[in-house]
Amino acid sequence: MTSPKVISLFAQYGEVVDVNLVRDKGTGKSKDFAFIAFEDQRSTILAVDNLNGAQILGRILRVDHAEKYKKKEEEEQKKREARGVCYAFQRGECTRGAGCKFSHDEQ
């Protein structure tokens, strides 16, 4: 399924705030699972209760709660912080913006 189709399937239970369709890093092919974050816990419970075991496109879904969920942006920010500070940003010269692989944290 594509991201918009996943969102429309889960949106019937609440506001979807993040979708991470997991793909193989080498091939880019889907690994046939995703992480979905809802705006509130009630929506998560409804989605699990209603979609776990449902058959969609000839496949049975397994929908469950994740112990720890990190949004893609949070993961990318942690990677940037691990690489260190962007010195060009500190000088006011970085033109890469959000695409920069280094942290733009002032500290």
Q: Is residue 101 predicted with pLDDT exceeding 80?
A: no
| pLDDT value for 52 | 96
- How high does pLDDT run on average in the chain? 84
**Cα 84 to Cα 40: distance, rounded to the nearest angstrom:** 34
Instruction: Give tens-digit pLDDT for 19-38.
Output: 888 888 888 888 888 999 99
Give 107's pLDDT tier (boundaries 50, 70, 90): low
Give CA separation, 40 vs 31, 37, 73, 75, 77, in Å: 26, 9, 19, 21, 23
Comparing 19-33, 49-63, 92-106, the range with the smallest average pLDDT is 92-106
Three-class SS state of 36: strand
Q: Is residue 77 predicted with pLDDT exceeding 90?
A: no
Helix axes 41-51, 3-11, angle to 10 degrees: 100
**Cα 25 to Cα 85: distance, rounded to the nearest angstrom:** 26
The 3-state secondary structure of 14-34, one letter per residue: CCEEEEEEEECCCCCCEEEEE
Q: What pTM does this model have?
A: 0.62
- DSSP code of residue 85: B
**Cα 87 to Cα 94: distance, rounded to the nearest angstrom:** 8
- Could you tell me the domains of the chain? 1-66 (3.30.70.330), 70-107 (no CATH)
